[in-house]
Amino acid sequence: MLRPLIIGMTLLVLCAGIPAVSAQIGGDEGWYRVHCNVDGADVYFDGQYKGTTYGGALDVPVYTTGSPYSTFRVEKSGYQPYTGSLPSDPAAGETVNVYATLQPVETAGSIHVTSSPSGAAVYLNGQYKGVAPLTIQNLVPGTYSLEGDRSGYQPDYATVTVRAGQQSNVQFTLTPIEQYGSIKVTSSPSGAYVYMDGTYKGRTPLTLTSVSAKKHNIELDLSGYYDWKSSVTVSPGVTSYVNAYLTAVPSETTGAIDVVSYPAGADIFLDDKYQGKTPTAGVYAISNVPVGSHTMRVALSGYQDYTTSVVVSGATTSHVTATLQPGQSTSTGSISVTSSPSGAEVYIDNAYKGITPLTVDGIATGTHAVRVALGGYSDWSTTVQVGAGSTASASASLSPVPTQAPHAGVAPFAAVGALGVLGLLVSLRRRD
């Protein structure tokens, strides 16, 4: 009884030492050679661990009589796992090559920084990294603070999240730092009107504050004196001085008016007479304006008319700055027509309108032709410029049409002919 028990236990121990490979014992052997670009990678067939690559490969034996494998997987920490299908089983004594290429797992990211204007100094978490445009490489995934800084501009800030294997983009838009100074303007004599860059600022003596740090044009006007112009450059935090000595002008009968409007392109009327349009840049100059007080009107479609009184002095330039307010603007005007003698027919743009004296309303703004006609007189024609909400005038002095006197050699023959006809009539009456 003891001998069979010992034999059975011996067999059990022997079986326990043999690998449990189903249906492989006694079969012929072939090999799969798994090639890998990384040593130390683990190889699995159908999920079963087969070993670790060394020297660029791993040989995995298989039995031709065993159950075939279908897939393989190669993996190593820090790399993307590689999975593929196995080719058909190798024959006995045959080696079949299988290839796996592992790609490293990205563990860092980057930040690309640009700035407008370019050239901003870039700081990452307070540390200087360079000047934009700039790419900051090999950053551990996480959240970073960025600062863009350039002289003369306000700094810009950003917070950016870096992800493994990705590039984050940051654009800094820098705003210029506005810098100011002051200008103190005096004149001899004082009381002159002060214009800076074409805008009225007050009368001398005058101190202009919060003036942007750059070059400015200064103009002084005073009735009875020549206009005075100069330029001054303002530095940040510094007061610049302008001292103007005005020169008196001889008495003149005319002056000039400079007109500016916001927006530009407006019609200009001086004493209801059309002058032109305000330019986009600069001023519209009206010269040879009689000395005295005048009415200036500036009109633009879609805006309320701007009307002001302008005093013109001899040999000087007065200034009008019209800031137009949005609103309903009159788009038509009128034409007033008189004639000497009166009672003449009035035609506007060849359309009959009535008898002089006559005022025609509802005339579109612009240039129109006026013709005045009266029997026995020569026609009279002119053109007028009609402004919005204003009345243009046309005064016609009609000239009589000359009458043609009878020809001196015709009258005697006409008289003889008339006597002959009369005698013939008397003769016929007697016969009756």
Q: Is 309 exposed, middle or buried (0-12, 13-18, 19+ CB in 10 A)?
A: exposed
Direct distance between the N- and C-terminal alpha carbons of the chain, in angstroms, rounded to an integer: 202
Domain boundary among 88, 104, 120: 104
At which residue do the structure tokens 């001292």 appear? 243
Q: Which of 362, 317, 375 is nearest to 195 (CA)?
A: 317
Three-state secondary-structure class, residue 14 = helix
pLDDT of 178: 79
Domain boundary among 291, 323, 355: 323
Please report whether residue 427 resides in a domain: no
225 DSSP 8-state letter: B
* 3-state secondary structure labels for all residues of 145-187: EEEEECCCEECEEEEEEECCCCEEEEEEECEECCCEEEEEEEE
The per-residue pLDDT of the chain, averaged, comes to 85
94 and 116 in one domain? no
83 and 121 in one domain? no
Q: Is 219 exposed, middle or buried (0-12, 13-18, 19+ CB in 10 A)?
A: buried
pLDDT of 20: 38
Listed as ranges, residues in the chain with pLDDT below 70 are 1-27, 251-252, 328-331, 404-432
Domain boundary among 176, 194, 229: 176
Q: What are phi and psi of 105, to 5 degrees?
A: -80, 130
Please report whether residue 52 resides in a domain: yes
Please report whether residue 403 resides in a domain: no
CB 200 within 8 A of CB 319: yes
Q: What is the pLDDT of residues 238-251, one digit of tens each?
A: 999 999 999 987 76
Whole-angstrom Cα distance, residue 112 to residue 102? 28
Could you tell me the sign of the dihedral formed by the alpha carbons of 185, 186, 191, 197, in that order?
Answer: negative
Q: Which domain holds residue 213?
A: 180-245
CB 390 within 8 A of CB 366: no
pLDDT of 315: 79
pLDDT of 331: 63
Total tally of structural domains belonging to the chain: 5
pLDDT of 329: 60
Please report whether residue 338 resides in a domain: yes
130 and 186 in one domain? no
Please report whether residue 171 resides in a domain: yes
Residues in contact with 51: Cβ distance below 8 Å, sequence separation at least 6, in sequence order:
42, 43, 58, 60
Please report whether residue 421 resides in a domain: no
Q: What is the pLDDT of residues 46-98, one digit of tens each?
A: 999 999 999 999 999 999 888 899 999 999 988 889 999 999 889 999 999 99
Q: What is the pLDDT of residues 29-38, one digit of tens each?
A: 999 999 999 9
Q: What are phi and psi of 22, to 5 degrees?
A: -70, 130
131 and 92 in one domain? no
93 and 113 in one domain? no
225 and 295 in one domain? no
383 and 344 in one domain? yes
Neighbours of 234 (CB within 10 A): 20
- We report the CATH number of the domain holding residue 271 as 2.60.40.10
Please report whether residue 124 resides in a domain: yes
384 and 356 in one domain? yes
Please report whether residue 214 resides in a domain: yes
CB 38 within 8 A of CB 79: yes
